[in-house]
Chain A
Amino acid sequence: MSILKKSIVASAALALPFAVSANSKLEKMMKDPNQWVQQSGDYAGHRYSELDQINKSNVGSLKVAWTFSTGVLRGHEGGPLVIGDTMYVHTAIPNIVYALDLNDNQRIIWKYNPVKGGKYPGGETMDRVISVMCCDNVNRGVNYHPNGTIVLHAADTSVIALDAKTGKEKWITTNLHAGTGKYGVSASTGSGQPFIIKDTVGVGCSGAEFGVRCNWTSYDIKSGKRLWRAYSMGPDKDMLVDPNKTTSMLKPIGKDSSLKTWPGDSWKIGGGSIWGFYGYDSKLNTLYYGTGNPSTWNPVVRPGDNKWSMTINARNPDNGMAKWLYQMTPYDEWDYDGVNEMILVDMKVKGKNRQALVHFDRNGFAYTMDRASGELLVAEKYDPAVNWATHVDMKTGRPQVVDRYSTAHQGEDVNTTNICPAALGTKDQQPAAYDRMSGLFMVPTNHVCMDYEPFKVDYVAGNAYVGATLSMYPAPGGTHLGNFIGWDADKGKIVWSNPEPFSVWSGAMATAGGITFYGTLEGYAKAVESKTGKELFSFKTPSGIIGNFMSYTHKGKQYVGILSGVGGWAGIGLAAGLTDPTAGLGAVGAYSALSSHTALGGVLTVFALP
């Protein structure tokens, strides 16, 4: 044990001298708009391209340049990377990675499939892994390390380092072993991107619907050795928090901040999964990520704040220690995971220059925080339909919950109705973009409400642990299920809002051409003017879009790429539509089933000007 510890410390120390150069190299690559080197484009999560060949005056004549089928039918989240003249495309389970030669008509340079003989590297069968993945078997993309490594976080939680040139495995570490049945770690799966910082790669885990206790784990990029692991809940030493130094709402969190907020040892199956899009500030040397819902969906069995589920984490990536934490939804009663992306923007907030962090939470509030101190600056609803809380108390940071929409207040076995937003959240994982030109945030949103009835379920290791009935329908007064909005994070106000018939489940991308791209569940790739939201371009891709837009140049020409492939949670909730056509809630057809618009199929579509 002590030898192991020593070697971890040693490898961390060894990594340090190289760390700075690798980091700056990657950040330099991020600044080059000709490439798209990380899932979010850059560490700040702006999803902004400085390219302007395609702009608001010519985007209307955008044409398809080429397409590529991934050969996989499940939902395709995330997006491709472009490093130099090579594009890397990933798929849903079985998590194939393709390297495409952009110089040679997208010829496949190599193809990597982690499943061999029906088994993932961690030893689990593909069947088993599929069966413990809630909400479709998505993967949110690979990432790149400048030492020539493509990292894949496979569904069985294996972290796989591939040689970017050859696709050969450099090392494989199985992070949590999907489905081993061990108390507390069973049925963890991997869907989130692997996140590169310096010479490390960090991964979260999925499975809050399966009673796991999730964590962030950091690995050495060269050897695959584990450096540190921070659990979302449990004893202080498990969470890597310092009771005196780690703060929340600017105050030290104190001893046993998590244990005190769970009955008995229920924190051991407490959920708190991490699978969204993350942020990193190299100047502050801070990693930012959000934790998901506490297990189960039945709040009655876990009275307390359930810390630190539903929390924005700011951590030192070298040792994992938490700098500050902010819990957005204490004692979740609605499945409002706090995993959504962290967007880091230096901006004026209430007249003062701030190093801000902007986060659009599932719970329907958009938070602007000071990312250095963890101070809460703004918390406003970004969909007027949100009703479960009246507002966030800026002194305590706590949402003021309305009893009528509190599934805990109403109690077990009572159907609490007309809660907005639905468990899908006002926004799920689909990342927003920051338009550096207008200073607005481009946010894909859901506009769906729900009835929710919590009930008692047994925890069965390796099985879903949900415990609530759920039915969803459009928010009152409208006939649409989504909006694409422009958001002012200083004032906390919607500037413009485009209604969409279905939830907008794709990641947005803003560009220096004054336009923003997003996709719809029916499959439309759209471009709007960033300042006004005016639609300038629309093209129906082969399948519904839940992937994220990206842009790059090749031989001096700008391209825009997007993965289609309907699925994800959107594919579960909306496949059959949300309401009976006869239910009389509104115009028939407005809620018609997604299945009458689009079908499965992973396809990359790349656009360019003619």
Chain B
Amino acid sequence: MKFKFNYLILAAFLTANFSAKAIPTPEAVEPQYDDDGNPTYKVVYGKGDRLKADGTPLNLIQIECQGKAVDMVSDEELDKCRGDDSLVEMKYGWMDFATYKGWRAYHAECHVCHGPDAMGSTYAPSLMTSVQQGMTWDAFFDVIINGRGVEQGAQKGNVMPAFGENTNVAPHIEDMFRYVKARADGKIRRGVRLPKLPKFKEE
């Protein structure tokens, strides 16, 4: 059963990516529509990143760092970009794989309190708003790793658990920050109709 699923996904993945000889560019990828005319979003995850025909990762959103695609820059340059938050600069219509992973990691744990789309609940703050109001990468990282108890200034009765040892969260904090930052900057709209797709029919 499980094998069959993987096999199907693999088959779809091969058809989508390797049967076309040309290196796929974001513009060349047509979104798929469901019966109701809404674009669906299909990405294979967890069994190896999507690759271009030349073996380099395919970014669905063109994230730029110092004028270059983010997967093309060195770690050093990447650190500089992280400093000025340009990691989540993206062209409307495309989301990079890391941001996508962040969105998913957010849904592995965070959304049960912080709500859908990082917009908060009646008791847990909107992370989108927190970042808009200046929550830094360092603070974001610290709170996720170490948590925050009632003693550390959280509203009475509210607690942020520590996720430092949680393998669904800790390895993905950077991706999650990208996602939340992208939400904060209005780069990603709500829901799974994820990227803004002005080019395509949506409504």
Contacts and interface: CB of A to CB of B under 8 A. Distances in A.
Interface in B94-147: 103-104, 107-109, 111-113, 115-117, 119-124, 126, 147
Contacts of B120: 575-576, 595
A122 to B, nearest CB: 17
A567 B149 CA distance: 20
Interface string A451-475: 1010111101001101111111100
Interface in A537-576: 566-567, 571-573, 575-576
B34 interface: yes
Contacts of A470: 107, 111, 116
Interface residue tally on B, bucketed by range: 35 or more
Contacts of A132: 161
B86 to A, nearest CB: 24
A79 to B, nearest CB: 19
A463 B109 contact: yes
A579 B116 CA distance: 10
A584 B41 contact: no
A72 interface: yes
Interface stretch (A25-33, A231-239, A413-421): A413-421
B30 interface: no
B117 A471 contact: yes
B200 interface: no
Interface stretch (A123-131, A254-262, A349-357): A123-131
A127 B111 CA distance: 19
A567 B122 contact: yes
Contacts of A72: 157
Of A404, A469, A566, which is in contact with the most chain B CB atoms at under 10 Å from its CB? A469
Given A411-B5, A412-B5, A463-B109, A471 B190 contact: yes
A73 interface: yes
Given A571-B122, A575-B120, A469 B103 contact: yes
A209 interface: yes
A303 B157 contact: no
B17 interface: no
Contacts of A301: 2
A607 B76 CA distance: 67
A94 interface: yes
A580 B190 contact: yes
Contact of A73 (B123, B191, B202): B123
A75 B157 CA distance: 12
Interface stretch (B21-29, B42-50, B54-62, B66-74): B42-50
Contacts of A415: 40-42, 192
Q: Is the interface of B mostly helix, strand, loop or mixed?
A: loop
A457 B46 CA distance: 10
Interface in B152-199: 155-161, 163, 165-169, 189-193
Given A404-B35, A571-B121, A413 B44 contact: yes
B53 interface: no
Contacts of A463: 109, 161, 163, 166, 168-169
Contact of A413 (B46, B149, B155, B158): B46
B107 A468 contact: yes
Contacts of B122: 75, 136, 566-567, 571-572, 575, 594-595, 600
A130 B113 CA distance: 11
B34 A417 contact: yes
Contacts of A566: 122
Nearest to B124: A572
Interface string A410-440: 0111110110000000000000000000000
A22 interface: no
Nearest to A452: B192
A290 B42 CA distance: 35
Given A73-B123, A418-B38, A453-B192, A303 B1 contact: yes
A348 to B, nearest CB: 41
A476 B43 CA distance: 26
Contacts of A73: 123, 155-157
Given A134-B112, A415-B42, A579 B159 contact: no
Contact of B46 (A93, A456, A584): A456
B20 interface: no
A362 interface: no
A4 interface: no
Residue of A453, A583, A585 most packed against chain B (CB within 10 A): A453
A413 B9 contact: yes
A495 to B, nearest CB: 30
Contacts of A414: 9, 42
B108 A74 contact: no
A75 B202 CA distance: 37
Contacts of A595: 120, 122
Contact of A476 (B36, B116, B126): B36
B161 A131 contact: yes
Given A456-B46, A466-B108, A575 B115 contact: yes
B75 to A, nearest CB: 27
Interface string A574-595: 0111111011110000000011
A418 B113 CA distance: 23
A135 interface: yes
A464 B1 contact: no
Contacts of B5: 300, 411-412
A600 B149 CA distance: 20
Of residues B8, B40, B126, which shows the largest number of chain A Cβ atoms within 10 Å of its Cβ? Answer: B40
B92 to A, nearest CB: 13
Nearest to B158: A130
Interface string A262-300: 010000000000000000000000000000000000001
A572 B117 contact: no
12 contacts: A126-B159, A131-B159, A135-B112, A418-B36, A463-B166, A466-B109, A470-B111, A571-B123, A572-B111, A578-B190, A583-B193, A595-B120
Given A417-B38, A471-B116, A594-B122, 18 more contacts: A94-B157, A126-B150, A131-B147, A131-B160, A134-B112, A136-B122, A137-B157, A411-B5, A412-B5, A415-B41, A453-B104, A463-B168, A463-B169, A469-B192, A572-B115, A580-B190, A583-B190, A585-B203
* Leading 4 A-B pairs by shortest Cβ distance: A571-B122, A576-B119, A131-B161, A471-B191
Interface of A: 72-75, 93-94, 126-127, 130-132, 134-137, 209, 263, 300-301, 303, 404, 411-415, 417-418, 451, 453, 455-458, 460, 463-464, 466-473, 476, 566-567, 571-573, 575-580, 582-585, 594-595, 600
